[in-house]
Amino acid sequence: MASVIAGACVLGLSAEVKYVFYLIGDGMGMGHVNAAQYYNRMVLGAEEPILMMQFPVASQAWTYSASAPVTDSAAAGTALSTGNKTRNNMLGLAPDSVERYVSIARDLKDAGWGVGVLTSVAPDDATPAAFYAHQPARWMYYEIDKEAVASGYDFLGGASLRGVKGKDGKPNEVPAMIEDAGIKIAYGTEAASSLAGKVDRLWVLSPENVWGNSNDIGYTIDSIPGAMTLPSLAKVALDHVSAKSPERFFIMIEGGNIDHAAHANDPGGVIKEVLNFQDAIRVAYDFYLAHPDETLIVVTADHDTGGMAIGHPDHYGHVDLALIDTQRISKDHLSDYCRDLVKEGKTMTWEEMSDLLKAKLGFWTNVPLTDEQTTRLRAAFDRTFVARESNDEKGLYNTFNEFVTETFRIYNYWVGTDFISHNHTANPVPVFAVGKGAGKFTHVVNNTDIPRIIRSLTLGE
């Protein structure tokens, strides 16, 4: 009798959860969240914490994969989407590469729910792909894009599709598959807004020729004219999915650029991306306020990237987060600019580069470099642009020449931030929740627990 009552309670609860927003800050450890909150309080003067930190449930999750203490995004995405561990670099498959795991998005779509998946990076990147793909390697974009077409999901959004052309640069059969499936592709959220809810399946990609990096929609801190933003993409996704499936839907929103900025050890890039992610959370939260008894919002991360912290080991006690507002270029964008200079054989004088750093980072004005730092920076400039003997530093998403690396090493020193790595760490990640069933997340969880709890609240499984 007790088990029957318990089962009835679960089913009764699941029937009440009709709308699920699953927000994943890629690479967003507590250090990144705390940095954004310190900036929010100390620089913006906000009396209330950033939105996710106002949620009634705040916990943390372990992130290890089946193959290592430090996970990658594919294994972590698989854990967050299916409730099962797998090996690094694998998507939606068991460690034996044979068994296919089923994601919570797939389960809900098969049960008649509307489904949207979107990100500020490429929609065939590891985390979003984990919600629809089953591949032994995360970089199998051709196969991943074919699975995206076959998924039947109502909405997909992000930077660009990387599996639609062959090695010869010519379109393969994926574009024809997209057309045959009746999928409408809009380039940019302005173009997409007029289509939301009026077509069967809507995919939204970055406007063509707006941002030269197919891996992301552009950093918030770069203020790229015409670039999409994650909040605007989230709004279009909500408009479309809620129109197509007003009774029940599931939307996964990934703040992928948090991870990219953290890989670069770019403090301003990280903080502005976390705040941009918060604005996407606000889109979900406003919907929750209108449907508080039927909506669940869960915010977490796939892993920690960089081990970001407030406090620099070589500048004890010094923190000046106001300097974040002097940063007007991401480390990635500065690196691309400098690489193009070298690649195209263009010359730039030290005086011209100094003027650029003054304008884009506030060097020698708001950021008071010491004579020793200026000497180091000038030496790195000469090796990079004069002698062309730069000792480059290769990251996951970019390669940084010696001059750019030294520039941001100095910038972190004055801001008062530091990173322990350019890669992922095994640090636990935050879990925030609000809405119906949020109390199920109050304990420290494994990342595999999160989709399992969502299943219990929505499908009664």
Q: DSSP E strands: which ranges in 57-187?
A: 57-62, 114-119, 155-158, 183-187
Q: For helices 331-343 and 256-263, what crossing angle results, to 10°? A: 60
Q: What is the pLDDT of residue 10?
A: 37
Distance separating alpha carbons of residues 198 and 182, to the nearest angstrom: 12
Distance separating alpha carbons of residues 188 and 206, to the nearest angstrom: 5
- Contact residues for 160 (Cβ-Cβ < 8 A; gap 6+): 122, 205, 206, 214
Q: What is the pLDDT of residue 6?
A: 37
What integer is the mean pLDDT of 267-272?
98
In degrees and rounded to multiples of 5, residue 77 shows phi and psi of: -60, -40
Q: What is the pLDDT of residue 346?
A: 86
Q: Is 9 exposed, middle or buried (0-12, 13-18, 19+ CB in 10 A)?
A: exposed
Question: Would you place residue 99 in the very low, low, confident or very high pLDDT band (cuts 50, 70, 90)?
Answer: very high
Give bridge partners of residue 438 from the DSSP assignment. none
Distance separating alpha carbons of residues 55 and 300, to the nearest angstrom: 12
pLDDT over threshold 50, residue 374: yes
Which residue type does 327 have? Q
Q: What is the pLDDT of residue 363?
A: 98
Q: What is the pLDDT of residue 347?
A: 86
Q: What is the pLDDT of residue 12?
A: 36
Q: Which of 19, 49, 13 is nearest to 274 (CA)?
A: 49
Q: What is the pLDDT of residue 96?
A: 94
Q: For helices 73-82 and 449-458, what crossing angle results, to 10°? A: 30
Helix (H) or strand (E) holding 165: none
Q: Which of 414, 404, 214 is nearest to 324 (CA)?
A: 414
Per-residue pLDDT tens for 304-358?
999 999 999 999 999 999 999 999 999 999 999 999 998 888 889 999 999 999 9
- The count of other CB atoms within 10 Å of the CB of residue 300 is 24
pLDDT over threshold 60, residue 88: yes
- Contact residues for 401 (Cβ-Cβ < 8 A; gap 6+): 335, 338, 339, 342, 384, 390, 392, 393
Q: What is the pLDDT of residue 212?
A: 64
Q: Which of 157, 201, 206 is nearest to 179 (CA)?
A: 201
Percent of the chain with pLDDT over 70: 96
- The count of other CB atoms within 10 Å of the CB of residue 386 is 12
Burial 94-108 (b: 16+ CB within 10 A, else e): beeeeeebbbbbbbb
pTM assigned to the model: 0.94
Torsion of CA 52, 56, 60, 65, to 10 degrees: -70
Per-residue pLDDT tens for 201-259?
999 999 988 876 678 999 999 999 999 999 999 999 999 999 999 999 999 999 999 99
pLDDT over threshold 80, residue 14: no
What integer is the mean pLDDT of 268-297?
98
In the numeric block, which tokens belong to residue 173? 């059969």
In the numeric block, which tokens belong to residue 2? 């007790």
Distance separating alpha carbons of residues 334 and 328, to the nearest angstrom: 10
Q: What is the pLDDT of residue 345?
A: 85
Percent of the chain with pLDDT over 90: 89
Mean pLDDT (the chain) is: 94
Cα angle 135, 140, 141 (rounded to 5 degrees) comes to 115
Per-residue pLDDT tens for 445-456?
999 999 999 999
What integer is the mean pLDDT of 425-448?
97
Q: What is the pLDDT of residue 8?
A: 34
Torsion of CA 305, 262, 394, 397, to 10 degrees: 100
Question: Would you place residue 2 in the very low, low, confident or very high pLDDT band (cuts 50, 70, 90)?
Answer: very low
What integer is the mean pLDDT of 42-55?
97
Q: What is the pLDDT of residue 7?
A: 38
Task: Map 295-338 to HEC letters.
Answer: EEEEEECCCEECCCEECECCECCCCCHHHHHHCCCCHHHHHHHH
Q: Which of 179, 189, 181 is nearest to 158 (CA)?
A: 189
What integer is the mean pLDDT of 110-127?
97
What integer is the mean pLDDT of 431-448?
97
Residues in the chain: 461
